[in-house]
Amino acid sequence: MFTPKYPPQDTAPPPTIIQPQPAASAPAIQAPAPVTQMAPTSNRPTVQLTPGSVLALAAGGGAVVLVVGAVLVSLLLAVAITGVSVAVVAVVLRLLIKDMHNHR
């Protein structure tokens, strides 16, 4: 039950290794071409921002900030309300227990 189950072994034939044929004559060694300094080019596409897209990004960022702020404030409010209600329950229980001890 707790022993591992291994998948079956691959049934593909083993790869064949092709041996390189020895060359009849070695090619002549050529001198490397001179290297010229060029500005590096980037393969990344450039992002062009228009005034409309900048405005849309700013509005979207503002909306995200407002939504996150509203969620955090509501969570803080929920914690505060819970804390106050627990404090009220503790005071009421303390008064009830004190009243029970006084009436004996």
pTM: 0.45
93 domain-assigned: yes
Task: Tell me if 45 is assigned to some domain.
Answer: no
- Count up the domains in the chain and report the number: 1
Residue 91 lies in a domain: yes
Residue 71 CA: distances (Å) to CA of 2, 43, 63, 78, 84: 46, 41, 12, 11, 20
- Is 4 a residue whose pLDDT tops 90? no
What pLDDT score was predicted for residue 27?
Answer: 61
In a domain, 99, yes or no: yes
Q: How far is the C-alpha of 50 from the C-alpha of 54, rounded, in Å?
A: 6
pLDDT digits (tens, 9 = 90+) for 13-68: 777 777 777 666 656 677 676 666 666 666 777 778 888 989 999 999 999 999 99
Q: Is residue 63 part of a domain?
A: no
Range of the domain at 94: 73-104
Q: Is residue 60 in some structural domain? A: no
Task: Examine residue 40 and state whether it is found in any structural domain, yes or no.
Answer: no
Q: Is residue 87 part of a domain?
A: yes
pLDDT of residue 38: 63
Question: What is the per-residue pLDDT across 24-38, written as a single tens digit (0 to 9) for each?
Answer: 665 667 767 666 666
